[in-house]
Amino acid sequence: MNILITGGSGLVGKGLNEVFMNSENNCIFLSSKDCNLIDYKETFQLFEKIKPDYVIHCAANVGGLFKNMNNKVQMFEDNMLMTMNVFKCCHYFKVKKVINLLSTCIFPDKVSYPINENDLHHGPPHFSNDAYAYAKRNGEILAQAYNNQYNMNIINIIPTNIYGKHDNFSLKDGHVIPALIHKCYLAKKEKKPFVICGSGTPLRQFIYNIDLANCIKHILFHYDQKESIICSPNDEVSIGEIGKKIAQLFNYEEHIVFDTSFSDGQFKKTASNKKLLSIYPDIQFTSLDIGLKNSVQWFIENYNQVRK
């Protein structure tokens, strides 16, 4: 059985690589160096060569708050084209099942909490990431269209903020946890304040990449419905608390400064994992303290090679 994983060199792809390490299936981990999924011809040629039975579509143009705010055209166009090309090829080559990754930032800005899977189209997303969010929402609409018109089996997984080893630790474009890890590392090295952009009050849910990979694997083999699923632990933590935990791991917690001249973005987007737990009741989530410790240790040990 051939399982194609797009975005195979990214954070989720690396998690899947670890989870599928001893699998009897033939897993092909695709990176952007192997194929430009924005180009339909290249995507078609790849599918023609591999002929996958299953596809896990993780590839995306992603980044943190400020990348989403400053690159809206690229975030919309790149993500739409990748999803359209992958789905079109999955249909043409009769792929049996497709897992498509979305994000909780696609949910409406003004909505009752906790968010569940049925709330997706009940209002516009937060303006700070609207282009990326609408591209991903359109991917969910396209998935349902293929399911209804062609009886395909595309399942949308909606994870909360993902973190872990092999993340993108860019100070400019990285998500909050990897960017803060890198920033704290440099602050201590240069004996400067550890500056956290914003007030630190926004709340987020974080899922370790290995935990998400286990969810994806379970859903791929044990979930036959076509409804979207939110993947997240219950715990919600502030950005400021995340910063303090990271600073403690570097023994640098006395040097934190909050720069409130920066935007906080969306204050909260609390998501319900009720459906996930109903189909995967045995899932064990890695505690945030252990996940952060593992991530910081891996970052320090691999500093010269990490994406940054």
The number of folded domains in the chain is 1
For residue 132, being part of any structural domain is answered with: yes
Q: Which residues contact 238 (CB under 8 A, 6 or more apart)?
A: 200, 201, 202, 203, 204
Q: Which residues contact 186 (CB under 8 A, 6 or more apart)?
A: 171, 192
Q: Which active-site residues does the annotation give?
A: 132
114 SS3 class: coil
Q: Whose structure tokens read 């400053």?
A: 70
For residue 212, being part of any structural domain is answered with: yes
For residue 9, being part of any structural domain is answered with: yes
pLDDT at position 61 is 84
pLDDT at position 128 is 80
Torsion of CA 116, 119, 124, 130, to 10 degrees: 40
The pLDDT > 90 percentage for the chain reads: 79
pLDDT at position 66 is 66
d(CA 13, CA 11): 6
CATH number at residue 82: 3.40.50.720
Q: What is the pLDDT of residues 26-67, one digit of tens each?
A: 999 999 889 999 999 999 999 999 999 999 999 988 776 667
* Strand intervals (E) in 160-255: 161-163, 194-197, 203-204, 206-208, 229-231, 237-238
pLDDT at position 39 is 97
pLDDT at position 302 is 95
Q: Supply the range of the domain harboring residue 275.
A: 2-165+206-234+271-286
Token duo for residue 298: 């891996």
d(CA 196, CA 241): 11
For residue 240, being part of any structural domain is answered with: no
Q: What is the pLDDT of residues 221-257, one digit of tens each?
A: 999 899 999 999 999 999 999 999 999 999 999 999 9
For residue 148, being part of any structural domain is answered with: yes
pLDDT at position 268 is 84
Is the separation of the CB atoms in 93 and 43 below 8 Å?
no
Residues of the chain with pLDDT under 50: none
132 SS3 class: helix
For residue 253, being part of any structural domain is answered with: no
For residue 180, being part of any structural domain is answered with: no
For residue 245, being part of any structural domain is answered with: no
Name the maximum alpha-carbon separation found in the chain. 60
